[in-house]
Structure 1
Amino acid sequence: MKVKLKVFEIAVVISTLIFLISYTFQEQLFKQLWIIALVPLVISGLLTFLIFAWAIVYHSRVGLTCGLIALSAIGLGELLKSELLKSKIVLQATLKDDLSYMHLTLRENQKFEMVSSHMFGDKEYIGKYKLIGDKLIFLDKVYDNSFIPDTVFIWNDKIILKHRENGEPEIGFASYFDIKKNTIKNKSQ
């Protein structure tokens, strides 16, 4: 009986570790392996949940401890990802293209997040920005290529990427961000 209990305890610990590793690195695994990355997360998650339920019924210390660690890790991970601990959003804008979207978020603490979403996944860029009047200056690289310049302009309900030769804003297809939320509007216009 003791041997079976030891094997069970080892299985509980291994299952919980696989689940925690899969949960912690789920975004990176999903970017690399796409839908296949869910397999270890789902299998180890179900196994950990079943073992935790079994541990509650049969009062297994190892099972209870592993289950509580897994629940605590999920709670902490989701709290860290949530907006609760981040600086207040002051501007949100989206640039739509034929095959992709770019979502820009400016925060009160002068940091930005740019998420480029396309059919092969998402890529996130994080950095600092500076706002001078209607001029938005990205202090860190915003995108892999020069499609989005380091200086753009807030104009009405748009963020303009470039201007024409006569100084007018270029508002053709995929040349501006549509502003969805802007609490800095009065400061910059």
Structure 2
Amino acid sequence: MNQNLENIFKLESEEKYNEAYFQYKSLLNSNPINFEIWKYYYFFLWSMIEDVNGFFTIYNNEDLSKELNKELKFGLKNFENIPEFNFIAGYTITIFPYEFGDYIELEKYGKQLLFKASKLEPNNVLFKMVFFGSLENTNDEQKKEYNNLKSKVSKEILENYFGNGLLNKYYNQVFIRK
């Protein structure tokens, strides 16, 4: 893991979000097309909108939403064929579509990105589970598949999303299902 990202994760865990933001921006300025940095920054922005009660003061919610949308567009342009991009973007859009614009259209679009992630990386149990979980009308086979994936996802999360950082902590809290 990038030492600069580890430093940012430490700031996040200490709720020093303004400092973390400036370090993300500095890191992205020197590595603008680095997906690994981008995904953590994008998720950081998304988290600042939804989870932080006044600890992040650089943007108001309206400007923060604009920055998040700008980063989404950047990601769509530069990372559209990366499965994890489609997963993270699709997930964040389906959870809070109103942060990105037209609720109904973007909720559908988020589900399309989740589907694309699961097709680009068909063996990724997390991508599959979340895609099945996003479906409104599932058949018995899809419900069974979803339930079978839950136990496998925990193992994948523990192996791939460990340590500090808002994204890693979120994945461990939300996707490890019993």
Give the TM-score of the pair, scaled to structure 2. 0.29
Q: Which has the higher helix share?
A: 2
Q: Which has the higher strand share?
A: 1
Give the TM-score of the pair, scaled to structure 1. 0.28
Give the structure with higher Rg (CA): 1
Select the structure with the greater relative contact order (CA < 8 A; seq sep ≥ 6): 2
